Amino acid sequence: MTRCRYCAGIKACKVCGQPISDFIHVGVRGAGTNSSGIWHYAVPCGHKQVVQVEAGAVQVVYNGGPLWNTRYRWLDVFWGDYWQKQNLPFNMDQIDKVVMDIETNASYSGGLKQYAATGGDMGISSLMGSKVVPTNPPQVVDDSQIQKQLETWIDGGVLPDLGMKGAYNIFLGPGVSVTLQGDSSCATFCDFHNFTGKHAYTVEPYPCSSGCNQCTANPFDTLTQGLSEEMTELKTDFVPGTGWLIGQLELCDFCDQQFQCRQIDTGEYVNAWYDRSKGSCWKPG
C-alpha cells in the first residue's frame, strides 16, 4: 500500500511542511476522544495527517485488497516473560479461549460471510495455537520494531510462517508502551492491526485503564472488545486501507461512533461491525 484515494493528493505535511514521499496506513482503534479509522502517517516526517473523506450516505466500499478466508488461521503470540507468571488477572489460556469464542461465533464471525471475496469465503475460522516468546520487548516498542521482530521470529522458525493465509495476534504485558510514530498506546490509541508487507497482525497492548472500554471497569473486557474489533477489521481489511471501508472507517470503526455494548453468547464483550445486509451494526441474535 502506498497512496489511497484520500491521501493521493497530499504533497506536503500539514504539520511540518516537509514533502511527503509516501504514507503508512494503519487500522487503529482510537482511545477516548481520538476517532478510530485508517490513520495516515507521512513518510519521512512521521506526522499523522488528517485526510478528508466525502460526506453523505453510508457507503461500504471494497477497495480490491486481500480478504480473509475461512481456511485461514490465527496464531496468538505472547511477547514477554510476564505471560509465564502464575496467578495473572487473566492468562494465555483465557485469551486463547476468547480468540476461539470470537472466531467460532456463528453470528459475530459467521455474519462476516457477506464480506467474502468473489469466489472466496469468510466467516468462521480457527485458532492454530499460541506461542509465548519470553524475551522481553523494550518498554517502549514502535510498530516498526514489532514488524521487524515478527519477521525475525518467522525467519528463525520461532513462529510458523502463515504467509497470507492467516494472521498473528500479538499480546503485550503491562508496562510496555506501544508507539505508532509519535502516537502512544493508551494516550491516543487502544490497539491496531497492520501488515508487514508479508504478514498481517494485530497488536494488543495491555488493556488501558481508561479510554478503551465504555462498558465495564474490567481489563479483560477491555481486551476482548479490542481484540474482537482488530480481528474483524483484519479479516475484512487485511492490508489496512485496501479492503472493506466506509470512507476511512473500517467496519467496527463505523459502529464505534455510536457505541453500544454488546456481548456474544459465550459472554465476551465485543465491538460491533457494520452489517451491510441489515444496514445496522451487529447485535446478538
What residues line the site for Zn ion (CB under 5 A)?
A: 4, 6-7, 13, 15-16, 23, 45, 47
Question: From CA 132, how far away is CA 175, in angstroms rounded?
Answer: 17
| Between 43 and 164, CB nearer to Zn ion | 43
| Lookup: cell for 113 | 460471510
First to last CA, the chain: 37
Nearest residue to 172 (alpha-carbon basis) of 210, 120, 135, 128: 135
Nearest residue to 191 (alpha-carbon basis) of 179, 174, 209, 173: 179
| Between 45 and 98, CB nearer to Zn ion | 45
| Between 26 and 154, CB nearer to Zn ion | 26
Min dist CB 51 to Zn ion, Å, is 6
| Between 45 and 167, CB nearer to Zn ion | 45
Min dist CB 239 to Zn ion, Å, is 12
Min dist CB 103 to Zn ion, Å, is 29
Min dist CB 48 to Zn ion, Å, is 9
Question: From CA 137, how far away is CA 177, in angstroms rounded?
Answer: 10
| Between 40 and 235, CB nearer to Zn ion | 40
| Between 24 and 112, CB nearer to Zn ion | 24
Min dist CB 26 to Zn ion, Å, is 11
Min dist CB 11 to Zn ion, Å, is 12
Min dist CB 196 to Zn ion, Å, is 18
Estimate to the nearest angstrom the gap between the alpha carbon of 201 and the chain centroid.
7
| Between 15 and 116, CB nearer to Zn ion | 15
